[in-house]
Chains A and B, each alone.
Chain A
Amino acid sequence: MSVKNRLVALAAVTVTVLGVAACGSDDGTSEDTGAKPDKLVVETFGEFGYDELVKQYEKDTGIKVELHKTAQLNEYRPKIVRSLATGKGVADVVALEEGILNEFKTNPANWADLTPLVKDHSTEYLPWKWELGKASDGRLMGLPTDVGSLAVCYRSDLFKAAKLPTARDEVTALWPDWNAFIETGKKYRAATGKGMLDSVTTAASAITMQVGGDIFYDADDNIVADKSPAVKQAWDTSLKMVDANITAKTATWSPEWSAGFKQGTFAATFCPSWMLGIVQDNSGAENKGKWDVAGVPGGSGNWGGSWLGVPERGKHKAEAAKLAEYLTSASSQVAAFKLKGPLPTNLEALKNPDFQSYTNPYFSDAPTGKIFGGSVEGIKPIHLGPKHQAVKEQAMEPALRAYENGEATAAAAWEQFIKDAATQGAF
């Protein structure tokens, strides 16, 4: 066979291959036919408390709902990004956490505008929460689910063993401010030889959210991590906690951390409302009644909270939007709160007596409805920049943990944090 023929054959094979490959990379867009779908897929992370609601929805509509849960946000985010980028495995309803919502807002076209798909609910939610669900081009990217609000989850049995007060009001009174919190931690260490707080990073998150204002970004989305008062305050207090040796040095979300809830490696962690479900799941049924909820040092703040969005590439956008509407309705928010703790943002849900009088049996019957609900209307919106979550998880927390583990001096840790914050923030 001549060289020319070989080349022709090779070219033919190559063309076939590229053709096949090109078909493979074709996106999965298909027209919204309006026909009733057999199944809708909902993607959430952590604990949204949708298990029962979804069953009810299936019963009412005859549409099957597949609930995909991812434990950690840092595994969840790449999954969503991959589906948006490739068009493969796009869920119908996607939970958007406040940290990653801002990142998705920079390319809002990936998300369906919900305004024409659902009724006008704009006055039914906390006004700022509703506004944050909108992208810069005005489209409604998500319907509000929950909001953070802050508290401290603590183990009353371990506090008792350390000869500290155990009743929730007395515990709250132990730490009017952060210095008092550190002093309590020192007493706990002296009595038990253990760290009271799980990790320095949970305190840092709580403080940045509590101080508020600009955190890692200013209003124009310039990175200001090196000069923001919230960061400065969180950093300094965190370093003080490490120096006072009041933490158990368990990295948040690590296996040691999850096991630590059950084993009593530490006695306290910062609890936004949504964290209650996670504490409960990690601690297991055998620790029911040992956990309780107290107030945070230095007043409340907001940490976390989400929206439900519908990807533009979803196949059943109209039905998906209706499902999101159902999951974020007043009664659904109360039901989810009772099951796993996410705090309602729907004004009617917040006024609901069922919500307000709710006591959480797992947490020693703590009146969580009152504790979290009482402060929710006072929460001020915080502007989080496009890469807030990445800066928090990939820059600030590793640097703090490096200091906590004795791997870096305070100066080296700060330098690492600022350098990483700048590269994460390059947008």
Chain B
Amino acid sequence: MALATPARPAPPEPARAPRHRTNGSAKRARWDMKFSPYLYIAPFFIVFGVFGLYPMLKTAWMSLHDWDMIGEHTFIGFDNYAELLKDEYFWNAVVNTLGIFVVATVPQLILALFFANLLNRTHLRSRTLFRMAIFVPNITSVAAVAIVFAMLFQRDFGLINWLLSLVGINPVDWDSERWSSWTAIAFMVDWRWTGYNALILLAGMQAIPRDLYEAAALDGANQWRQFWRITLPMLTPTFVFVVVLSTIGGLQLFTEPLIFGNGNMRGGTQREFQTLAMYMYEKGINSLNTAGYGAAIAWALFVLIGIVAAINLALVRRSVK
């Protein structure tokens, strides 16, 4: 049979750029093929380079110097980092940052899950309105939020203390102790970010196929069981994303505690709520001659975010499975 098959026609010549065309346009076409893709993606890299990469490299360079903002710069190698490890206030800021992160993020994610699940109900009326409403806190300016909350939590004329006084509790000096200042700051953070995270989780929930729920309902699984057995496992990738995002945001916390403490970088008389970002600003910007040390703190913060994000990722993956 094979032999009987007539010989196939020779394959046509590959379509090449005809030689007789002008050399220039051929070159242009080749260049176009080669470099245009880079040109199309260049805006991202340029923006990233200017606002991301360059400051990072410059910061790394600064952290190896004894750097005076308006004076001399002397190379000192890794001395700033060695100093940092011995610095009591640095570790205090690490504890505060992680503490506020936990106090703020855990309830926030639980709340966000709760809201997302609520909004995901098919029979909920005016869903769009609620979905928009839950996002509103996020588009208000962070400074405005912080100022309003700082007023609510004021010692002498604050609303919270007034409410507490109605039930016979003595006024709390919110910014003078760890637990109280952390609570107040966690309120600000949660008010602003819960809705944002809820919307991302909601988007993840919408992607879960409906028939899974229908099958589960037929098998007699109630809403709660469906949530645990279907929603949560299927939501893992989205949840991991939200956790990583919250980690990055939470560990960079700056404006809320700053305004809560009247704009003082110390974060309370005893540094009760001074976050790493605030300590970085205190050393890097406020005291002119220790900008290099501030840069070292910035890199320490970067490493810390990496570590915490990795831990969270591992935890979330394991627990939700």
Footprint of B on A, CB under 8 Å?
A: 1, 5, 9, 12-14, 16-18, 20-21, 24, 72, 74-75, 77-78, 81-82, 84-85, 103-104, 106-107, 110, 250-251, 253-256, 259-260, 263, 265, 387, 390, 394, 398-399, 401-402, 405, 407-408, 416, 424, 426-427
- What is the distance, in angstroms, from A256's C-beta to the closest C-beta of chain B? 5
B183 within 8 A of A: no
Neighbouring A residues of B223 by C-beta, 8 Å: none
Name the one of A9, A259, A390 contacting B287, with C-beta atoms under 8 angstroms: A390
Are B49 and A18 closer than 8 Å at their CB atoms?
yes
List chain B residues, Cβ under 8 A from A250.
Answer: 156
Q: How far is the CA of A255 from the CA of B46 in the complex (A)?
A: 43
Determine whether the beta carbon of B42 is less than 8 Å from that of A21.
no
Extra inter-chain contacts (16) besides given A17-B54, A260-B156, CB under 8 Å: A16-B42, A21-B54, A74-B264, A75-B263, A81-B69, A81-B285, A84-B69, A85-B70, A110-B70, A250-B156, A255-B154, A259-B157, A263-B157, A387-B287, A390-B287, A394-B282
The total of chain B residues at the interface (CB under 8 A) is 36
Whether B61 sits at the interface, judged by CB under 8 Å, is no
Residues of chain B lying within 8 A (CB to CB) of residue A394: 266, 282
Query: Do B50 and A84 touch (CB < 8 A)?
Result: no
Indicate if B138 sits at the interface (CB-CB under 8 A).
Answer: no
Q: Is the CB of B156 within 8 A of A17?
A: no
Point out the residue from B50, B154, B290 that lies within 8 Å of A20, measured CB to CB. Answer: B50
B65 CB to nearest A CB, Å? 14
Q: Quick one: which of A9, A82, A253, A405 contacts B35, CB cutoff 8 A?
A: A9
The residue that A103 contacts in the complex, of B42, B151, B156, B288, with Cβ under 8 A, is: B288
Q: Is B34 an interface residue, CB under 8 A from the partner? A: yes
Q: Which residues of B contact A387 (CB under 8 A)?
A: 287
Contact, CB under 8 Å: A401 / B269: yes
List chain B residues, Cβ under 8 A from A1: 34
Check A256 against B269 for contact (C-beta < 8 Å). Answer: no
CB distance from A109 to the nearest CB of B (A): 9
Which chain B residues lie closer than 8 Å to A74 at the CB level? 263-264
Q: Out of B68, B151, B269, B289, which one reaches A407, CB within 8 Å?
A: B269
- Binary flags per residue of B248-281, CB closer than 8 Å to A gives 1, else 0: 0000000000000011101001100000000000
A401 and B157 alpha carbons, distance in the complex (Å): 19
Tell me whether A14 and B270 are in contact (CB under 8 A).
no
Contacts of B45 in A (CB 8 A): 13, 17
B157 and A107 form a contact (CB under 8 A)? no
Instruction: Assess whether B229 is interfacial by the CB under 8 Å rule.
Output: no
Please tell me if the beta carbons of A256 and B290 are within 8 angstroms of each other in the complex: no
Residues of A near B156 (CB, < 8 A) are 250, 256, 259-260, 263, 265
A402 touches B270 (CB 8 A): yes
Q: How far is the CB of A7 from the nearest CB of chain B, in Å? A: 12
Query: Separation in Å of the B225 CB from the closest CB of chain A?
Result: 49
Q: Are A17 and B46 in contact (CB under 8 A)?
A: yes
Give min CB distance, B297 to chain A, whole Å: 14
Q: Known: A401-B269, A407-B270, A416-B270. Is A13-B38 also a contact (CB below 8 A)?
A: yes
Residues from 271 to 311 in B contacting A, C-beta threshold 8 Å: 282, 285-290
Can you list 22 A-B pairs with a CB-CB distance of less than 8 A? Answer: A13-B45, A13-B46, A13-B49, A14-B49, A17-B53, A17-B54, A18-B54, A21-B49, A72-B263, A74-B264, A81-B69, A81-B70, A82-B285, A250-B156, A256-B154, A390-B286, A394-B266, A398-B270, A402-B269, A405-B176, A408-B269, A426-B289
